[in-house]
Amino acid sequence: MVRLFTELRRRSVFRAAAAYIVISWLVLQVVDVLADILRLPSWPGQLILLTLAVGFPIVLVISWLYELTPDGLRRDTSASGETVSSDPAIARKIDYVIIAILAAAVALLVASNYLLPRLVTDDEGLSSISVAVLPFVNMSSDPETEYFSDGLSEELLNVLAQVRDFRVPGRTSSFAFKNRNEDLREIGALLDVKHILEGSVRQQGDKIRITAQLNDVDTGFHRWSKTYDRELNDIFEVQDDIATEVAKALKDILLDEDREVIAKKATENADAYQSFLQGEHFLELRTPEGTEKALAAFVRATELDSEYAAAWAGLALAYGYLPSYGLMGEDESNQLGRAALDRALDIDPDHYWVQYAKGVWAETREEKIRAYERAIELNPNDPTAYISLGWVHDTFVDGADRRLELMRKAYELDPLSRRTVEQYSIQVSNVGKWEESLQLLYDHRAFDPEWLGTYETVARMLEHQGRMGESALEVSAIQQKFPDLAWASAWLAKHHMVWGDYDRAREYLDLAKETQGFDVWIEMYEASLAARQGNLKDAYAIVLDYMESNEKPLYHMLLAELSLLAGDSKLAANHADEFFASRPDNDFLDFHLTAAIAYRDVGRVEEAVTRARWVIERADLAESKGLVHWWWPESRGSANALLGNSEAALKDLKAAIDLGYMDMSLPFSYNAFPHVDLLYVDLLDNPDFQALKAVIDQRIDAARESYEAKSTSRDSVAL
């Protein structure tokens, strides 16, 4: 044995083996890096590995038979009696080559793990492990079983979303392609993913056939595919196998924690699982009927498996939705919903859906934040938790950037979801990036042209920017596309009120009433129109009747404004007192300004000053937190005018005009009646104030003329 070892060493077999292994490893590293950059399928790497493995014994044989000498490669014939001297210099050169190759390999390894991933991510914007799960096609003869194919897809999505380093778009975006024959490359671009999992489900009695395939977006090749013919009771095994195979195909190494995530089952009961899938399906509809069906399905799931934590969490969420549809009282909903949540927490507090439900039912801001953050920790690909966490964060405490960051993350995870697009675009506009915000909505409209929310949000954002003519055109488009929406007609009435076209406003309000009858929005616009036309008693009566029948204390502030316009400051102060007694922490700036005017006029000067200063502090805080909108300088300017700070008031009013202010009467902002004369009473004859007011008047006229030139909505109103 010693003699063999000595001979192997003399013939440099060990050096040859070491050099071959190092060179092979270096080649494989290069192939791996290039495969990521060029997005090659896995087979080239596998072929190179096989070739290198076959070449290894060949190299060993050659190194035994031949030796590298100063005269070149010569046959080693020492066994036959002729000795071939091994040159130490050549041996050292081989050692140096091996060391150099090792150094190059280490450098490549560092670059591929720390430098190239960042370059690839920054340049391409794609996660190295990104996969979208499209809804599996229901091939069953019974369309009622569609919940099963959808539910299986959603469960696979949820499992893969919890695998470390995976980025998986949310359900809404993935399911947006249901029944749409889109090219995989286009889907990949819209969802920003490199891989797509799709398949089909056929269910017949207790038999199921599931076909799944993982596709590479760029090449169109299958990375993996398989067909399963099983019993329904084997659904968990099939689901685990699909998730495992997908993870193995996309990850170089499948860690134990990944296998644990995939293997973890919420229930072993197939019937309970089917009921849970039904509950998920119906809850996602967000309709009264769907919520009732979801409730029944979740109840059935918990009856079949009393330890099914996710089903109890779904039950808690369903109970929480019922009061908004008038299907259950608040007290009963709270009792049943919290009981279901407590049961879910007892069973599995580490299930992400349980933590999300806990956040929904939490009573304090701190509790909600902890629950939603824990839900995100358990499932970092859940966009709903990011949205909920974003709204819990107080902009005046945490700043606008924190909420924007969370909404952006939700959007990145679910870019085709109506809810995430709307919420993200709103936050983008709140920091003054209005064009970017509008573009988000326009892009989504191109993909989802039937969604009313795009038109409505665009109209509001244009209105917030002072682009009233464009806003009115958007509302007109809503009215024509969705003719049964009374509030669209009422909204057009509001625009015409601001333009001073009261006859047209009357026509649109009448059309709204014909479409819907009584509605609080329509009634408040009726009051606003009456006030603008000088019929203050009629306006007061409309608001008072609605407040008394609906017990809404906030309408005291509308009555206070009307009382001020009528010259009855004492009555206005009484209404303000009534409101703030019931809502002492209310933060509507207009309410504090209205109260300040009333208190000033009745001699309660100290209270008026306190209200005005609070408005100034609030506006300053909003701007310091990154919020950008005309109502902050406009409100601060009004407060400064009340305090007699004329120079500051004019400066703020100009800043508001620069941001688009033009006497907007936004729906249910409580500045619905014109009281600028009451706010700037000491500046009415000031030339600078008159010049600023002239700018507003010119903008209003230009907006009206632009609308009338482009609008075709006049034909839709019966004159």
Q: Residue ranges per domain, the chain?
A: 2-124, 131-265, 481-713
Of 313 and 700, the one with more pLDDT: 313
Least reliable range by pLDDT among 14-28, 172-186, 573-587: 14-28
CA distances (Å), 179 to each of 88, 175, 182, 185, in order? 72, 9, 9, 17
The per-residue pLDDT for range 302-346, each reduced to its tens digit, is: 999 999 999 999 999 999 988 888 888 888 999 999 999 999 999
pLDDT averaged over every residue in the chain: 81
* Per-residue pLDDT band at 69 (split at 50, 70, 90): low
Highest mean pLDDT among 287-291, 468-472, 561-565, 573-577: 573-577
Tell me: pLDDT of 675 over 70: no
- Other beta carbons within 10 Å of 618: 18
Alpha-carbon gap, residue 166 to 9, rounded angstroms: 48
Under the banding of pLDDT at 50, 70 and 90, the label for residue 68 is: low
Handedness of CA 637, 641, 644, 648 (dihedral sign): positive
Q: HSE-up of 231 (CA within 13 Å, CB side)?
A: 4
DSSP letter for 79, please: G
pLDDT of 85 above 90? no
Question: 29 — phi, psi (to 5°)?
Answer: -65, -45
**Residue 138 near residue 146 (C-beta atoms within 8 A):** yes
Q: How confident is the model at residue 569 (pLDDT cuts 50, 70, 90)?
A: very high
With tokens 């059935």, the residue in question is 300
pLDDT of residue 619: 95
Mind giving me the DSSP string for 347-370?
Answer: H-TT-HHHHHHHHHH-SSHHHHHH
* pTM confidence score: 0.71
Distance of CA 461 to the CA centre of its chain: 19
Between 149 and 41, the more confident residue is 149
| Residue 691 per-residue DSSP state | H
Question: Do residues 198 and 134 touch, judged by C-beta distance below 8 A?
Answer: yes
Long-range contacts, stretch 71-77, CB < 8 angstroms, 24+ apart: 76/11
Residue 371 token pair: 């629950």
- How deeply is 588 buried, as exposed, middle or buried, from its count of CB atoms within 10 A (0-12, 13-18, 19+)? middle
CB–CB of 554/583 below 8 Å? Answer: yes
Percent of the chain with pLDDT over 70: 80
Is domain 131-265 given the CATH code 1.20.810.10 in the classification? no
pLDDT of residue 665: 42
CA-closest candidate to residue 558, choices 537, 527, 587, 589: 527
Please measure the distance between the N-terminal and C-terminal CA atoms of the chain and give it in whole angstroms.
110
201: helix, strand or coil:
strand
Decide: 575 and 557 in contact? Cβ < 8 Å: yes
In this structure, the number of other CB atoms found within 10 A of the CB of residue 550 comes to: 9
Its CATH class, for the domain covering 481-713, is mainly alpha
In this predicted model, what pLDDT tens digit does every residue of 350-382 receive, in sequence order?
Answer: 998 999 999 999 999 899 999 999 999 988 888
pLDDT at residue 341, as a whole number = 95
Whether 51 and 44 have beta carbons less than 8 Å apart is answered as no
For residue 344, the tally of other CB atoms under 10 A from its CB is: 26
The per-residue pLDDT for 36 is 56
3-state helix, strand, coil in the chain (%, to 5): 70, 5, 25
Question: CA-CA distance, 277 to 304, in Å (whole number)?
Answer: 13
Tokens of 172: 């809404």
Whole-angstrom distance, CA of residue 677 vs CA of residue 359: 46
pLDDT tens digits, residue range 419-454? 899 999 999 998 989 999 999 999 999 888 888 888
**pLDDT score for 11:** 60
Cα 376 off chain centre by: 13
